Each structure stands twice: as structure tokens, then as C-alpha cells.
């Protein structure tokens, strides 16, 4: 996701995490502890029933020892949540099957490749872009499981002689002093390095709607120049970030008092001018007054997208921690942003997951332990955290202030190929998942109805039965479009409501190819720091510059926007969307004719609106509305049908919009299943192999 922009009104806090801990995990635990009574009670009831009837207690032995065991778990969806659940089960020797409706894996991780893309060609190797997730913070403890997964998979690939598929991280350049900003018909764009005291034409004297007091340059007590409008968010977020830094429990309690507010409502109904403290000016209004509509509109416009401040205030504050995770947690004084992306496209990541899932033997406990120690999830033999994964390109190597890891374990990469075992089934659309209490000797299970579209276009209907099912579809995708049968039948009231109400955020992407990278030839091109992201108030919002292919003549500019901007772009035809993107790019480069370098329109292959995608089900990622953390999050995590059904996906996490949210949710779902089976040894092995992710299993067995 990573939707927040580093523009003048959104200065990242210096209150970043400096120790090995997880704010998001603490937040999840706090919500469950304080608002998860139904969740805890349901888990306790399910597990007491399991123990009373011996449900599946012996089945874990069967699946571990049988020569060709039947799949115990059915997984719906081949995105990262579904595949990560499968990889964990594979590492534990528990059989499963994954059913993916489309012809590719990855879900909302999807790379667009130009028809002319060629990884071996200097001119064409950079002709790609990310339709979905495109970057992760490099040093954030919350995000490290994503790098752990990639490194663990590489060990399996090496043992199987598949070195051509090894996953490598390269630098993603998010910000630069030389990225362009242009708003409100400014005569020309400005550079980010000149933006901190620029009104961006929002002042009334420039044709905007902000009183001049907000956009008149001032000097603080340390001699730093600033605009009052640009200190607001620091004052909004600061008290909560400081409280959380001092105490997770009291900090979250303070923050959650405002969970029923949207970001917009908090700014215009709670925050007062007096809260600006030393930055307050009587010309702004009385100290007891709230921020005006126009001020809130400015903050939304330059920081996110049109309408995004309607989401939960808590969601927006916690998001600041994700961005602080982009900093160097090993060096307090390092102000730089560190992000990485997958070399040659993020699509390689899920494709590799699929390759490993279709092998009989996957990630081992040793693989997982070595990977944890190399990326700083666990301490090495020097009893300290370090970071030196071997799968970084040169530009992604950490700064010298980051200590090297000294792992206790040694990777096993000796050639030892595994037999193949097909577990991931493509073009298999699950249309119904129904609980049947009579299955498995009246111990209950799930029956899946599956439509398999064959290569000749014909469709076969299949039926499969599993003791457990993990469903990872986006919530909107549970509308199956069938004439009679619903996707689920007899879900609890709470789960039905949660699936219906959980808010998703639309997003739009486009990839505009140019025969000449004019952007690198205008002004100063910073090869060491990248060019980053330019932004405007036009419908296309952001221009994401490539972090690769600098030495080629051709290049791709990626357009990215969200919320109402994305919805409106999505209503246009594909060619009309491209035309809007071209106008937005021209707006940022008025000094040249960008159409002269445009490579030309190709029908239907250069734009993507996740809002309309039939597999995404109405949005690109979850972004909770007010009250949904307290009222929906625990419910989404709660298993249904005596533990036979678990819902997963990034919406079932506190990491909305990030790959790690999908991983966390899958980990929690597998953990629930193992707890149901009293598989204590397998839980221990899972934690040793994959680390301890956010699994809010706080139910106390009675």
C-alpha cells in the first residue's frame, strides 16, 4: 500500500522504533485484550469442545506419518496469505491444497511487463511496473517477516538447483529533494527541497482558500523556517506517538479513545488551535476553535488522496509508525528512508512461493532459523541483532552503521532435489464453502464447491472436503454471483457483519512508456538517491519514477492514486485513463512536450483499477473506518464452525495494505488450526521456523 506521501504537511516523526519490538503486534494484542471478549470466549468454547470429543487429536499423527496423506487443509486463494499458510503447513508436514481462481498467483502483488520487456536487454529491461504492492520498509521489525520469507525460499531453490529463480531485493527510491510538486495551477512545478515554506498556491492571495496566517513563513525557536500549516500533523500525531513510546498499554488506551473518529472528524471536531502550542497565532482564531474545513482539505490533499481522511483516525496515526519503520533502526541519527523492492518485478516473489509449494519438501526449520538471524528477527551468536542478508543487490546494501549479522546456524544449500507434489491449482474458482457437521465421523468439516476452467474453456465442477479451510479472499469476493447458492451459509452474525462492513480502499495504477527518459535529463538526476515520487492535485496524483533501468533510453512512469481519485479514473475507458495520465505528466513537465516521447497507446494493457477487479472484490487493500478496529478486527480473527473455517488476508491484521499483513493473518489461521488439534510440538516448530508473528491467541484454555 504505502499511500502516505512525504510532502510538506506530512513530516515523519522522529519517534521511530529504536529497539527490537513491534508496535503493530502490541496494538493487536491490546485490541484483543480490551475488545476481544467474544473472540476469546469463542476460542475457549471451540477448544473445550475439541478436547471433550478428541476432535482431530489423533489426525495430526495420521497426516505426519502416512506415506501419501490426504490434504487436511483446503486454502482458498493464491495470494500471499494463502501461499504463506501453505508454506507453513508444508514445513510442518501437514498436507493441504490451494485453489486460485485466476491464471497467476500473488493476488494483489502483480507486476506489469511491457510486451517489449526483456530482462537481458539494456534498452528494454526497465519496461515494467508494479500493479500492486511495490515496496517494503527495509529495517522495520514489523516488516522483516517478508524478507525472512524470501530468504527462506532461496535456500529451498538452491537445494533444488533453481538458482535462476533466486529472489533478490533492490533499492526502492521513494523520496528525493529533486522530485516535483505542483498544485492549484502553480505557474511551474517546484522541487521538494524548496517546498517546506511554499504555499503551493493554497493561500487566498494565490487564489486558494487558506487565510494567509497559515501559509506565511515563520521562524521557530531554533531558527528553522516553517509554515504553520505544515506543523499541524506533527502536533496531531505527536502526543499519541510519545504516549505509545512511553507505554504501549497507556498509549494505545489514549489513542483508542478516538477510534470512533475519522481522521477528518478528529481534525475538525477534536483538535483545537490551542493544541498547536508554540505555533499558535491569534490570527488563526480563538484557541478553543477547531481546524477549518479548508485546513483539513489541505492536509488531505497534500498527504493522501481525495476522501481518504474519512477512514479511522487510529488507522492514520498507526500508519506513521509504518513510515518510521522505513528509517534505520540501528542508527538514531540517520534521517534517510530505506525501502526495497523485488529485483525484476514483485511478481517473481509469489511465483517462487508457488514453485516451492509444488515441491514435496519445502522450507526447513534450519532455513527459517538462519534467515531470522541474518535479517535481525533473532539475535546471532554475538547475542546481538544484525542485518546482512545475502540476497541484496549492491544498491540495497545497508549503511555502514548497520551491524553485520553473525548467525548461530548455517544454511544448508547442498544440492538435494525434492520430488514434485502439486498443491497449487490454478484456474480453480471456489464458489461455495459449506460446513457439514457429519463429515469426518461426525467431527465436522468443510465442503468446497470448485469450478475448474480447463484450457479448452470448458468448466468442470469439483467437490472437495477438508477438516479445515483457510479462506483468504478479499471480503468483496465472497459475492459469488451464483443463481442460488451463497459462498458461505450460516456464518455467525458477527462474522457476516464484519465481512460486509470492513472498509476497502480503491487504488489505480497506470504504466506510461516513453521512448526517452526525459525526466532524468531535466534538472539534476540523483543516481545515488533516486528521483522518488512527484505529486499534484490532478486526478492521477502521483508519478512514481523507476528505481531501475537508468542506463537505458526508454523508461516507464507509473501513475498511482487512491480513494475517490481512483474511483473516478476507473470509470473511464482504458484509453481515456491513459489520456488523463498523460495530461497529469505534462502538467508536471510544462517545459517540454512529453507527447513527443510517448511510446504510444496499447489497448487494455497499461492501466489497472483495483476497485473494478473481479478478483479483488472492490478495493486494493483494507483501510478501516471509525470504530472498526474495536468492533471488527477481533471478529475477523475468530474461527467459525468449531474452528473448521478461518478467514485470513491483510484485512485480518493490523498491517493493512502491506504484504506482512497477509503473512500475519495466515500465521494466525494456521496457529488456530494447530491449537484445535492440540499440536503443541508443531506450534513450537512453527515458531522456531517462521518466528513469532502477530498471532493474538490470548485465549486461556479451561
pLDDT per residue over 283-320, tens digit each? 999 999 999 999 999 999 999 999 999 999 999 998 88
- Strand runs labelled E in 525-684: 533-536, 542-544, 555-562, 607-609, 621-622, 645-647
Q: Which three cell numbers stand for residue 50?
A: 475439541
Q: Does the structure show a pLDDT above 60 at 523?
A: no
Q: Which of 373, 352, 309, 423 is nearest to 68 (CA)?
A: 423
| Per-residue confidence (pLDDT) for residue 63, from 0 to 100 | 42
| Per-residue confidence (pLDDT) for residue 109, from 0 to 100 | 93
| Per-residue confidence (pLDDT) for residue 25, from 0 to 100 | 80
238-262: per-residue pLDDT in tens? 999 889 888 888 888 999 999 999 9
Per DSSP, 661 falls in state H
Q: Does the structure show a pLDDT above 70 at 3?
A: no
- Which CATH architecture fits 507-612? Alpha-Beta Complex (3.90)
CATH 3.50.50.60, applies to 36-103+426-501+625-690: yes
Largest CA distance in the chain: 79
Q: Is 218 helix (H, G, I), strand (E, B) or coil?
A: strand
Q: Does the structure show a pLDDT above 90 at 674?
A: yes
Most confident among 58-67, 245-254, 405-414, 564-573 (mean pLDDT): 405-414
Q: Is 229 helix (H, G, I), strand (E, B) or coil?
A: helix
**Sign of the torsion angle spanned by Cα atoms 686, 688, 689, 694:** positive
Task: List all residues 6 or more positions away from 692 whose beta carbon is below 8 Å from its beta carbon.
Answer: none
437-496: per-residue pLDDT in tens? 999 989 899 999 999 999 888 999 999 999 999 999 999 889 888 888 999 999 999 999
Average pLDDT over residues 33-61: 72
| Per-residue confidence (pLDDT) for residue 527, from 0 to 100 | 57
| Per-residue confidence (pLDDT) for residue 610, from 0 to 100 | 66
Average pLDDT over residues 408-414: 95
- Walk across the sheet containing 136-137 and list its strands: 136-137, 339-342, 169-172
Q: Which three cell numbers stand for residue 461?
A: 465442477
Q: Where are the domains of the chain?
A: 36-103+426-501+625-690, 180-324, 507-612
Average pLDDT over residues 105-114: 92
524-550: per-residue pLDDT in tens? 555 556 788 999 999 889 999 998 888
Beta bridge partners of 113: 128
| Per-residue confidence (pLDDT) for residue 29, from 0 to 100 | 87
| Per-residue confidence (pLDDT) for residue 528, from 0 to 100 | 58
Q: Does the structure show a pLDDT above 70 at 6?
A: no
Q: What percent of the chain has pLDDT over 70?
A: 90
Q: Where does the pLDDT of residue 5 fall: very low under 50, low under 70, confident under 90, or very high at 90 and above?
A: very low
Q: Does the structure show a pLDDT above 80 at 2?
A: no
Question: Higher pLDDT residue, 602 or 648?
Answer: 648
| Per-residue confidence (pLDDT) for residue 612, from 0 to 100 | 66
Q: Which three cell numbers stand for residue 619?
A: 478495493
∠35-446-647 over CA atoms, to 5°? 30
Strands 468-471 and 73-76, bridge-based pairing: parallel
pTM above threshold 0.85: yes
Q: Which three cell numbers stand for residue 197?
A: 515554506
Cα 658 to Cα 5, 87, 181, 667, distances in angstroms: 16, 19, 26, 15
Average pLDDT over residues 101-129: 92
Q: Which three cell numbers stand for residue 115?
A: 510486451
Q: Where does the pLDDT of residue 53 fall: very low under 50, low under 70, confident under 90, or very high at 90 and above?
A: low
| Per-residue confidence (pLDDT) for residue 525, from 0 to 100 | 54
Q: Which of 625, 595, 390, 602 is nearest to 504 (CA)?
A: 625
Average pLDDT over residues 662-690: 94
Radius of gyration of the CA atoms of the chain, in A: 25
Beta bridge partners of 522: none
Average pLDDT over residues 17-45: 79
624-665: per-residue pLDDT in tens? 999 999 999 999 999 999 999 999 999 999 989 899 999 999
| Per-residue confidence (pLDDT) for residue 611, from 0 to 100 | 61
As a whole number of angstroms, the distance between CA 152 and CA 218 comes to 52
Residues 1/120, Cβ–Cβ less than 8 Å? no
| Per-residue confidence (pLDDT) for residue 190, from 0 to 100 | 95
334-386: per-residue pLDDT in tens? 988 899 999 999 999 999 999 999 999 999 999 999 999 999 999 999 899 99
Q: Which of 695, 698, 679 is nearest to 93 (CA)?
A: 679
Q: Does the structure show a pLDDT above 80 at 85?
A: yes
Q: Does the structure show a pLDDT above 80 at 15?
A: no
Residue with grid cell 489423533, as numbered in its chain = 58
424: left (phi over 0), alpha (psi -120 to 50) or beta: beta
| Per-residue confidence (pLDDT) for residue 64, from 0 to 100 | 43
Question: Higher pLDDT residue, 257 or 27?
Answer: 257
Where does 376-506 have alpha helices with state H?
A: 439-442, 493-501
* 161 CB burial (10 A radius; 0-12, 13-18, 19+): exposed
Average pLDDT over residues 144-150: 97
Of 133-147, 517-531, 672-686, minimum mean pLDDT range: 517-531
Spell out a b/e string for 185-208, using b for 16 or more CB atoms within 10 Å of the CB, else e: ebeebebbeebeebbbbbbeeeeb
Q: Is 318 helix (H, G, I), strand (E, B) or coil?
A: helix
Question: Higher pLDDT residue, 418 or 483?
Answer: 418
H or E stretch including 351? helix 348-357
Residues 182/587, Cβ–Cβ less than 8 Å? yes
As a whole number of angstroms, the distance between CA 369 and CA 366 comes to 5
- Walk across the sheet containing 445-453 and list its strands: 428-436, 445-453, 459-466
Amino acid at each position: 500500500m504505502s499511500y502516505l506521501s512525504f510532502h510538506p504537511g506530512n513530516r515523519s516523526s522522529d519517534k521511530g522504533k529504536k529497539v527490537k519490538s513491534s508496535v503493530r503486534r502490541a496494538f493487536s494484542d491490546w485490541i484483543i485484550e480490551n475488545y476481544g471478549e467474544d473472540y476469546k470466549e469463542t476460542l475457549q468454547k471451540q477448544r473445550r469442545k475439541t478436547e471433550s470429543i478428541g476432535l482431530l487429536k489423533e489426525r495430526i499423527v495420521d497426516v505426519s506419518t502416512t506415506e501419501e496423506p490426504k490434504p487436511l487443509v483446503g486454502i482458498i486463494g493464491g495470494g500471499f496469505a494463502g501461499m504463506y499458510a501453505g508454506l507453513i503447513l508444508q514445513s510442518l508436514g501437514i498436507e493441504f491444497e490451494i485453489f486460485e481462481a485466476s491464471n497467476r498467483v500473488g493476488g494483489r502483488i502483480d507486476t506489469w511487463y511491457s510486451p517489449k520487456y526483456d530482462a537481458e536487454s539494456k534498452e528494454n529491461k526497465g519496461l515494467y511496473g508494479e500493479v500492486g504492492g511495490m515496496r517494503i520498509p527495509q529495517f522495520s521489525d514489523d516488516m522483516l517477516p517478508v524478507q525472512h520469507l524470501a530468504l527462506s525460499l532461496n535456500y529451498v531453490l538452491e537445494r533444488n538447483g533453481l538458482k535462476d529463480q533466486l529472489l533478490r531485493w533492490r533499492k526502492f527510491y521513494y523520496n528525493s529533494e529533486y522530485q516535483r510538486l505542483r498544485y492549484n495551477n502553480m505557474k511551474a512545478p517546484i522541487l521538494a527541497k524548496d517546498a517546506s515554506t511554499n504555499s503551493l498556491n493554497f493561500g487566498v492571495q494565490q487564489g486558494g482558500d487558506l487565510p494567509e496566517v497559515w501559509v506565511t513563513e515563520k521562524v521557530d525557536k531554533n531558527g528553522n523556517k516553517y509554515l504553520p500549516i505544515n506543523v499541524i500533523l506533527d502536533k496531531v500525531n505527536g502526543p499519541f506517538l510519545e504516549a505509545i513510546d512511553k507505554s504501549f498499554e497507556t498509549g494505545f488506551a489514549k489513542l483508542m479513545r478516538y477510534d470512533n473518529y475519522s481522521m477528518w472528524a478528529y481534525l475538525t471536531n477534536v483538535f483545537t488551535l490551542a493544541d498547536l502550542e508554540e505555533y499558535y497565532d491569534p490570527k488563526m482564531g480563538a484557541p478553543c476553535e477547531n481546524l477549518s474545513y479548508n485546513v483539513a482539505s489541505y492536509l488531505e490533499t497534500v498527504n493522501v488522496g481525495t476522501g481518504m481522511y474519512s477512514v479511522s483516525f487510529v488507522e492514520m496515526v498507526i500508519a506513521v509508525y509504518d513510515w518510521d519503520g522505513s528509517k534505520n533502526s540501528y542508527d538514531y541519527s540517520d534521517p534517510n528512508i530505506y525501502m526495497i523492492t523485488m529485483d525484476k518485478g514483485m511478481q517473481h516473489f509469489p511465483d517462487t512461493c508457488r514453485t516451492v509449494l509444488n515441491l514435496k519438501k519445502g522450507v526447513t526449520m534450519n532455513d527459517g532459523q538462519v534467515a531470522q538471524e541474518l535479517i535481525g528477527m533473532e539475535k546471532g551468536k554475538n547475542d546481538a541483532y544484525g542485518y546482512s542478508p545475502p540476497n541484496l543487490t549492491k544498491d540495497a546494501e545497508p549503511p555502514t552503521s548497520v551491524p553485520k549479522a553473525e548467525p548461530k546456524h548455517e544454511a544448508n544449500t547442498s544440492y538435494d532435489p525434492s520430488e514434485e507434489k502439486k498443491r497449487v491449482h490454478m484456474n480453480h474458482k471456489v464458489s461455495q464453502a459449506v460446513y457439514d457437521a457429519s463429515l469426518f465421523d461426525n467431527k465436522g468439516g468443510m465442503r468446497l464447491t470448485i469450478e475448474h476452467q480447463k484450457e479448452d474453456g470448458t468448466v468442470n465442477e469439483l467437490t472437495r472436503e477438508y477438516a479445515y479451510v483457510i479462506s483468504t479472499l478479499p471480503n468483496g469476493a465472497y459475492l459469488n454471483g451464483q443463481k442460488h447458492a451463497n459462498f458461505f451459509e450460516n456464518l455467525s452474525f458477527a462474522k457476516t457483519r464484519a465481512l460486509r462492513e470492513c472498509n476497502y480502499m480503491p487504488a489505480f495504477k497506470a504504466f506510461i512508456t516513453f521512448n526517452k527518459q526525459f525526466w532524468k535529463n531535466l534538472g539534476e538526476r540523483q543516481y545515488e538517491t533516486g528521483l522518488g515520487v512527484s505529486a499534484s492535485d490532478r486526478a492521477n496524483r502521483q508519478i512514481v519514477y523507476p528505481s531501475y533501468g537508468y542506463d537505458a533510453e526508454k523508461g516507464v512512469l507509473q501513475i498511482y492514486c487512491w480513494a475517490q481519485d481512483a474511483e473516478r479514473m476507473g470509470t473511464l475507458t482504458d484509453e481515456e485513463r491513459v489520456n488523463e495520465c498523460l495530461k497529469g505528466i505534462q502538467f508536471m513537465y510544462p517545459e517540454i512536450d512529453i507527447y513527443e516521447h510517448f511510446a504510444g497507446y496499447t489497448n487494455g494493457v497499461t492501466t489497472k483499477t483495483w476497485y473494478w477487479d473481479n478478483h479483488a472484490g472492490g478495493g486494493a487493500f483494507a483501510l478501516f473506518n471509525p470504530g472498526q478496529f474495536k468492533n471488527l478486527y477481533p471478529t475477523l480473527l475468530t474461527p467459525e464452525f468449531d474452528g473448521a473455517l478461518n478467514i485470513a488476508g491483510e484485512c485480518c491484521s493490523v498491517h493493512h495494505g502491506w504484504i506482512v499483513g497477509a503473512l500475519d493473518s495466515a500465521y494466525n489461521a494456521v496457529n488456530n488450526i494447530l491449537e484445535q488439534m492440540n499440536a503443541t510440538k508443531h506450534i513450537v516448530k512453527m515458531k522456531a521456523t517462521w518466528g513469532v508473528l502477530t498471532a493474538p491467541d490470548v485465549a486461556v484454555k479451561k
